[in-house]
Amino acid sequence: MDIVQDLRRIGAWIRPEAVRYALGLGSLLLVNISDVIAPVFMAVAIDLAEAELLSAAPKTPQVLAYLGLSSGDFSLVGAIACYLALHVAANAFRYPMLMNTAVPSHRVGQSVRNRVVDHLMRLSRPFYDRSRSGDLMSLATSDINATRMMFGPAILVGSDTLMIMSLVLVVLATLSWKLTLIAMIPLPIIALVTNALSHAEYNRFEDVQEDLATLTERARESYAGIRIIQGYAREVYDRDRFRAFSWRHFGLNLRLAKVRAMFDPTLDLMLGVSTVLVLIFGGMQVIDGTMTLGTFVAFLFLVRYLSGPMIGLGWSVSLLQRGRASLKRLHALLDEPIEIKDAPDAVEADTNGTLQVDGLTFAYAGRLDPGTGTVDLDAPVEPVLRDVGFTLRPGARLGVIGPVGSGKTTLISLLARLYDPPEGTVRFGGRDVRDITLASLRERVVVAPQDTFLFSDTVARNMLLGSPHQDTDHARELARLAHLADEIDALPRGYETLLGERGVNMSGGQRQRLAIGRAIGADPEVLVLDDCLSAVDARTEGAILDNLEEVFEGRSGIIVSHRVIAVERCDEIIVLEEGRVTERGTHAELIQGDGYYARIAAEQMKAAQSGLEEVTS
Amino acid sequence: MTTPTEPDNQTPEAEATVERAALQLARDPVLKRMLDEERVESGGLDTALLGRLLTYLRPHKRLAAVAIVLATVEAIAMTLPAWLIGLAMDQVSGSRREGAAVDWLVGVGGRFADWMSPAAATQERLSAMVVFFGLLVGAVWLLRWGVAVTTTYLVQKLGQLVVHDLRTDVHRHLTGMDAQFFHTNPVGRLVNRTTFDVQALAELFSDTFAQGARDLLFILVLIVVMLALDLPLAAILLATFPVLVAIGLIYRRYARPALRTNSAVVSRMNAWMAENLAGMRENHLYRAEDRRRAEYRSLTDAHQSSITYVIRAWGLLRPAMMITSAVATSCVLLVGYNRVVGGLVTVGVLLTFLQYTVRLWVPVRSLTEKFNQIQTALTAGERVMDILNARSSIVDLKQADPALTVKRGRIRFDGVRFRYPRKELDVLAGVDFEVEPGQMLALVGDTGAGKSTIARLVTRQYDVTAGEVRVDGRDVRDYTLNQLRSGIAIVPQEVVIFAGSVRENITLGRDIPDERIWECVRAVRADTLIDRMSDGLDSPLEEGGRTLSTGERQLLSFARALVVNPPVLILDEATANVDTQTELLIQRALEALTAGRTSVVIAHRLSTIQDADQILVLRHGKVIERGTHDELLRMGGEYARLVELHHGGVAEAA
């Protein structure tokens, strides 16, 4: 059963906090008992007053009569003292109640968050190719919030409802069961209305949020593209366009406001209906003499306690419904299998092993639809690599060259096992990479990607991401090797400058050089540079290539590029075209041929001859 | 609330505790910066700012007036049921009460009773009276519902209207700012000002002001009603107000720093998540998984710590207020008893008071919570106002002639010097040149030599420090910005693609016939690209043009420039790597683009500029060589040397 499974899951999450929850719900029970009994003493006081006024014997509310007490047993001060004491008690218990439900519910929320992040860290490339980051974001934020609301407010309010309903009903029924039934007439309606309203509110709120993202994107576009907008003197058009988006957002907000405006007044109206019923029918009973004036007053106050929980019930049911749906999605994520992981009998990689690629043919699973961003797993796919092979001995250097889309990056991704190569096609130290622990493989084979990602962190910590040494001096050394030192020194806070969203922006070329530094910092045996000099100008490129001579001392390397100058010093160069190795050899050998290599070498030389190629950027 | 708004300076300890706890758990530099930024100022209310914000209500005066009237009606309707119930109670218990309103109501009730059961027994008459009052209470409650729904809606609408106005104002203002402003303000910051900060102000208008005003009105009406009913009992209730307010202030002191810290932690967690999803490949490649887990765990710890402070403050507020009101209720009961027994008030009046006491704390609590919002919103408001106060240094001058347009495209620099704001060195140290209509000028030189600056001065992204830039013989400042820029198209290095159709991206919203668009598209050879798309010119493009390749984006950018048919074209050549075939395509498109118009090319590849009519070699802001490709080669200077260097470099490699 679905619901049984959900309950079991909820139970499993809450179990570590079971004691706290028990304490919290216990406190809640005490709160409710005190709260519900207090108005009875108000009734006693009123009855005492009335008796005094009419000089008659005070009447006794039924509840007290059941307890064998009568109003006459209390002095006015005594009754009021009881009333006050009960209220103080009720509120004193409110604090532990909240601290033992809200706080642990947040703690459960944190463990959900941590579990989700643990799993996200372990999931591999193919999963991320299949999923949209927006979806993952909403899992990690709104879905976790919704489950937290289920673990916290929904449970608290739900229990509150059940407790106070039964308590109030008991007390009211002993006061007058007839009037109780009458006062309860609007209750189911309250629950239904609350539930309906909170669903509507939720949906419209989601619409507003979604639209806010669009609006934000429009604003971002205006400011990021300001040079074009101003350069073409199109400010007025852009403003009109933004105004239209802003106006649509206004409309959606108004739609939400309609539901929100209904919310409180409607619930208040339901309370009003109950009050009117009590007033009319209770008033008649007082006239009949079948009810004391005090009891009538107590009723008026207790009715409030009835409608409160009904509002709460509607609300908590909708929280539960949302929370369940979110928890289901979260578990779907947590159950997502980890495709690339250590084999059961995986071993550490040998040090200084030979990297061997043999008959490697590889196709991605499924095809990415650029329109929707989803992957169609059943779509027929063409292999990206066909029968690729090479051997990289310790200390040797391999150049990989080829046009855009020839499979260079895919080949690199397979070496670090971002994707799993077919069995036996990629070996390190003679062992299939699939039999090596991921950690030890990625310790030895490190890739500097073409378009690397910089985190919102300091320059130093970005540079030292994979490095065993975390000191700034080391970062300085890496910056020197990557020819980035001067530019970092020019930053406002040097190596402590924050990058990313809230910090400084780096240009494409700077990012690439940081990526190179980062990769060197990981101190790999095999250093793989995936076309990460493409946005660097020719002069800097030359300097970095010279520095790399020093870096490659004692390690092997793979340099992927579309430019001859970057690979010409390699021991072996392979040319990839449409996923196949079409040429291999040294620079001297290949330049003699009449293939792709010789052709682009000539083109690039001609470009340089005809002028100062890229000397300026 | 009667207390003046106090500055929040007396709270540094409380603030420090929560923040320190959070920062100790998560030693996160970004979180620290966020908290620092949030703490900008916690001074008192800035009345000038408040006043300026209120001017945004002016266009919606009538709506605001209606809302205020309705809110008053609502406040009265809120107090009525308890009073009516008390009155009904007096009828039932046979007590008599004085007053014109009472007499009138009882009179109407009597006629209702007569109509229901004419000449019946006293008891039945009494029952009829109860029914009458019951229905009356029901009617009032229904009215209250209607008024409350309408008021809430109108108030929300008012707030949203203000937000819409403010949002478009900010956007309009920003799109008119100069290049220097955009250089110093990251896009992300400007976006936040336009959406999130403005949104925070919305809450100020619709939730805080409006709801706060309703709470205040309710309290005021309540006080009037109570004073009219019975002075001593009213005095008890009035005496509880200061206590409630004091509790509110204490709460505020503890809750505010906690709330602020918590919201900073939450935004940091979200940013962390977005970032690590985007950078997951790097996390895997560099085995940073454990480090990331620890980072996130420390953030969730900080979240737990700060939320605990929030819950604690909240867990104390409500009980404290409810205990206060229970004490008040007890006092009312005690005093009321004596007054009822003494015949000074009726039981009904006592009941009315009892109903008021139990509700008293609700508006006070809600006002207390509103106060936190005011502070947050005003901080946001201040940031928005800062933006609106920023002035663009590049504006149309008085001398500008709106009728003046760029026609032929002659460009002339006369002794132009330029220094960027707050920089010490001149980027251009006296540059002179002239480009005849239809000619091509190429700029060559190292990074920082001043090539891009020259381009920026032509379109008046900046104004010269000294000297003069002339277009068609007139100083660029004699043109309106609009006319000047309409005559000069720029093609930047990094192509900007907007989310929208291909057509919109080419025309930028101008009304241009399809034939003309196609003509330009074919001229730059982007037709095959558009033919491949399912909806032709109407095919949607994603923001940033992610679905297009670098070369394809470039071609669209060319079409965009060509469709304007400008006398002058400024081209910043792209350096991005494209394959040889695409490069050829672009090359040919460029020829079509520059034909027959003046062009200024910032050269990164030499193949483009070999045919330039004039090449300027720049170094440190000065023209060190000028001439055609052949002339410069023959001259044997810097240009020739650089060519030689690279020629040699590749030749040697070969």
Cβ neighbours of residue B343 closer than 8 Å, sequence gap 6 or more: A53
Q: Which of A554, A505, A562, A507 shows the shortest CA–CA distance to A529? A: A562
Total number of residues shown for chain A: 617
Mean pLDDT of B17-21: 84
Would you call B279 and A266 a contact, using CB atoms and an 8 Å cutoff? no
Which residue among A121, A216, A403 sits closest to B283, beta carbon to beta carbon? A121
Mark whether B195 and B284 lie in a shared domain. no
Quote helix, strand, coil % in chain B, to nearest 5.
Answer: 70, 10, 25
For chain A, the structural domain boundaries read 2-334, 355-368+392-609
Query: Could you report the per-residue pLDDT of B264-273, keeping only the tens digit for each?
Result: 898 889 889 9
Mark whether B490 and B597 lie in a shared domain. yes
Mark whether B103 and B125 lie in a shared domain. yes
Q: How many CB atoms lie within 10 A of CB A612?
A: 26
Residue B6: per-residue pLDDT: 37
Chain B residue closest in CA terms to A536: B575
Would you call A42 and B333 a contact, using CB atoms and an 8 Å cutoff? yes
Distance CA A565, CA B427 (A): 33
Would you call A501 and B137 a contact, using CB atoms and an 8 Å cutoff? no
Would you call B191 and A225 a contact, using CB atoms and an 8 Å cutoff? no
Would you call A133 and B274 a contact, using CB atoms and an 8 Å cutoff? yes
Beta pairing class for B466-471 and B411-418: antiparallel
Q: Which residue has better confidence, A152 or B43?
A: A152
In this model, does residue B443 exceed pLDDT 50?
A: yes
CATH number reported for the structural domain that contains residue B426 in this entry: 3.40.50.300
Residue B649: per-residue pLDDT: 44
Which residue among A217, A231, A276 sits closest to B499, beta carbon to beta carbon? A217
Residue A200's identity, in one-letter code, is A
Chain B residue closest in CA terms to A279: B134
Residue B219 pLDDT grade (very low, low, confident, very high; cuts 50, 70, 90): confident
Residue B119: per-residue pLDDT: 62
Would you call A612 and B34 a contact, using CB atoms and an 8 Å cutoff? no
Chain B residue closest in CA terms to A121: B289
Residue A255: per-residue pLDDT: 94
Chain A residue closest in CA terms to B540: A371
Total number of residues shown for chain B: 654
B429 pairs with which residues across the strands? B417
- Residues of chain A with Cβ-Cβ distance to B85 below 8 Å are 275, 279, 300
Mark whether B101 and B163 lie in a shared domain. yes
Query: Could you report the per-residue pLDDT of A325-351, keeping only the tens digit for each?
Result: 899 999 999 999 999 999 999 999 888
Would you call A562 and B156 a contact, using CB atoms and an 8 Å cutoff? no
Q: Which of B446, B448, B479, B641 shows the shortest CA–CA distance to B568? A: B479
Would you call A222 and B175 a contact, using CB atoms and an 8 Å cutoff? yes
Mark whether B119 and B220 lie in a shared domain. yes
The CA-CA-CA angle for residues B310, B316, B319, to 5°, reads 140
For B468, the enclosing helix (H) or strand (E) is strand B466-471
Would you call A276 and B341 a contact, using CB atoms and an 8 Å cutoff? no
CATH number reported for the structural domain that contains residue B135 in this entry: 1.20.1560.10
Would you call A268 and B133 a contact, using CB atoms and an 8 Å cutoff? no
Chain B residue closest in CA terms to A54: B341
Closest approach of A612 to chain B, Cα-based (Å): 5
Q: How far is CA B162 from CA A218, A325, A436, B130, in A?
A: 20, 36, 62, 47
Query: Could you report the per-residue pLDDT of B173-205, keeping only the tens digit for each?
Result: 999 999 888 877 777 778 888 888 888 787 777
Task: Give the torsion sign (CA, B28, B32, B38, B39).
Answer: positive
Residue B6 is assigned to a structural domain of this protein: no
Instruction: Return the top range by mean pLDDT from A86-95, A187-196, B70-79.
Output: A86-95
Query: Could you report the per-residue pLDDT of B568-593, keeping only the tens digit for each?
Result: 999 887 655 566 667 777 778 888 88
Which residue among B130, B273, B650 sits closest to A283, beta carbon to beta carbon? B130
Would you call A114 and B123 a contact, using CB atoms and an 8 Å cutoff? no
Mark whether B244 and B193 lie in a shared domain. no
Distance CA B53, CA B387 (A): 14
Would you call A260 and B289 a contact, using CB atoms and an 8 Å cutoff? no
User: For the ranges B66-70, B304-308, B539-543, which has the lowest average pLDDT?
Assistant: B539-543
User: For the ranges A101-115, A307-321, B122-136, which has the lowest average pLDDT?
Assistant: A307-321
Distance CA A283, CA A277 (A): 9
Mark whether B172 and B213 lie in a shared domain. yes
CATH number assigned to the domain covering A355-368+392-609: 3.40.50.300
- Residues of chain B with Cβ-Cβ distance to A604 below 8 Å are 650
Distance CA A607, CA B243 (A): 83
Which residue among B85, B311, B643 sits closest to A611, beta carbon to beta carbon? B643
Closest approach of B376 to chain A, Cα-based (Å): 20
Residue B13: per-residue pLDDT: 45
> Among A40, A215, A234, A287, which would you mutate to test the B interface (most chain B Cβ atoms within 10 Å of its Cβ)?
A287
Class of domain A2-334: mainly alpha
Residue A490: per-residue pLDDT: 82
Q: How far is CA B402 from CA A200, B207, B472, in A?
A: 53, 46, 15
In this model, does residue A139 exceed pLDDT 70?
A: yes
Closest approach of B457 to chain A, Cα-based (Å): 12
Residue A615: per-residue pLDDT: 38
- The residue out of B190, B213, B230 marking a domain boundary is B230
Would you call A222 and B171 a contact, using CB atoms and an 8 Å cutoff? yes
Would you call A616 and B281 a contact, using CB atoms and an 8 Å cutoff? no
- For residues A322 and A150, the answer to whether their CB atoms sit within 8 Å is yes
In this model, does residue B8 exceed pLDDT 70?
A: no
Mark whether B287 and B329 lie in a shared domain. yes
Q: Which of B257, B277, B344 shows the shortest CA–CA distance to B21? A: B257
Would you call A612 and B606 a contact, using CB atoms and an 8 Å cutoff? yes
> Among B74, B286, B452, B479, which would you mutate to test the A interface (most chain A Cβ atoms within 10 Å of its Cβ)?
B286
Residue B496's identity, in one-letter code, is V
In this model, does residue A377 exceed pLDDT 60?
A: yes
Residue B480: per-residue pLDDT: 92
In this model, does residue A147 exceed pLDDT 90?
A: yes
Query: Could you report the per-residue pLDDT of A542-589, keeping only the tens digit for each?
Result: 888 889 988 898 899 999 988 888 898 899 999 999 889 999 999 999
Closest approach of B99 to chain A, Cα-based (Å): 22
- Residues of chain B with Cβ-Cβ distance to A87 below 8 Å are 322-323, 326, 329
Which residue among A110, A273, A452 sits closest to B300, beta carbon to beta carbon? A110
Query: Could you report the per-residue pLDDT of B117-143, keeping only the tens digit for each?
Result: 766 667 778 888 888 888 999 999 999
Would you call A121 and B33 a contact, using CB atoms and an 8 Å cutoff? no
Mark whether B161 and B59 lie in a shared domain. yes
Residue A228's identity, in one-letter code, is I
Could you please report the per-residue DSSP string of B30-84?
A: HHHHHHHHHTS---S--HHHHHHHHGGGGGGHHHHHHHHHHHHHHHHHHHHHHHH
In this model, does residue B644 exceed pLDDT 70?
A: no
pTM: 0.78
Domain extent at residue B416 = 411-653
Tokens linked to A548? 């790399």
- For residues B491 and B557, the answer to whether their CB atoms sit within 8 Å is yes
Chain A residue closest in CA terms to B443: A616
Would you call A229 and B642 a contact, using CB atoms and an 8 Å cutoff? no
Q: How far is CA B276 from the centre of its chain?
A: 25
For B599, the enclosing helix (H) or strand (E) is strand B598-602
Residue A380: per-residue pLDDT: 64
Would you call B498 and A221 a contact, using CB atoms and an 8 Å cutoff? yes
Residue B383 is assigned to a structural domain of this protein: no
- Residues of chain B with Cβ-Cβ distance to A273 below 8 Å are 138, 141
Which residue among B148, B288, B496 sits closest to A466, beta carbon to beta carbon? B288
Q: Which residue has better confidence, B436 or A270?
A: B436
Chain A residue closest in CA terms to B457: A231
Residue A466 pLDDT grade (very low, low, confident, very high; cuts 50, 70, 90): confident
In this model, does residue B49 exceed pLDDT 80?
A: no
Query: Could you report the per-residue pLDDT of A231-257, keeping only the tens digit for each?
Result: 888 899 999 999 999 999 999 999 998
Q: How many CB atoms lie within 10 A of CB B42?
A: 17
Chain A residue closest in CA terms to B446: A616
φ/ψ region of B174 (left if φ > 0, alpha if ψ in -120 to 50, else beta) reads: alpha
For chain B, give the mean pLDDT.
83
Chain A residue closest in CA terms to B140: A272
Residue B650: per-residue pLDDT: 43
Mark whether B450 and B569 lie in a shared domain. yes
> Among B273, B394, B481, which would you mutate to test the A interface (most chain A Cβ atoms within 10 Å of its Cβ)?
B273
- For residues A140 and A284, the answer to whether their CB atoms sit within 8 Å is no
The ipTM estimated for the assembled molecules is 0.86
Residue B73 is assigned to a structural domain of this protein: yes
Which residue among A261, A265, A617 sits closest to B604, beta carbon to beta carbon? A617
Residue A332: per-residue pLDDT: 92
The CA-CA-CA angle for residues B136, B137, B140, to 5°, reads 85
In this model, does residue B33 exceed pLDDT 90?
A: no
How many structural domains is chain B composed of? 3
The pair phi, psi for residue A580, each rounded to 5°, is -115, 150
- For residues A295 and A283, the answer to whether their CB atoms sit within 8 Å is no
CB contacts < 8 A, A to B, total: 462
Mean pLDDT of A13-23: 94
For chain A, give the mean pLDDT.
86
Residue B652 pLDDT grade (very low, low, confident, very high; cuts 50, 70, 90): very low
Query: Could you report the per-residue pLDDT of B465-522, keeping only the tens digit for each?
Result: 999 999 999 999 999 999 999 899 988 877 888 888 899 999 998 899 999 999 889 8
Mark whether B467 and B339 lie in a shared domain. no
Q: Which of A313, A284, A51, A317 shows the shortest CA–CA distance to A168? A: A313
Would you call A229 and B30 a contact, using CB atoms and an 8 Å cutoff? no
- For residues A116 and A334, the answer to whether their CB atoms sit within 8 Å is yes
Mean pLDDT of A3-10: 88
Mark whether B416 and B535 lie in a shared domain. yes
User: For the ranges A358-362, B104-108, B239-243, B436-440, which has the lowest average pLDDT?
Assistant: B104-108
Distance CA B432, CA B410 (A): 14
In this model, does residue A416 exceed pLDDT 60?
A: yes
Would you call A76 and B323 a contact, using CB atoms and an 8 Å cutoff? no
Residue B1: per-residue pLDDT: 34
User: For the ranges A115-129, A365-379, B253-267, which has the lowest average pLDDT?
Assistant: A365-379
Distance CA B509, CA A244 (A): 14
- For residues B533 and B539, the answer to whether their CB atoms sit within 8 Å is yes
Per DSSP, A57 falls in state P
In this model, does residue B530 exceed pLDDT 80?
A: yes
Task: Give the torsion sign (CA, B336, B342, B344, B346).
Answer: positive
- Residues of chain B with Cβ-Cβ distance to A262 below 8 Å are 149
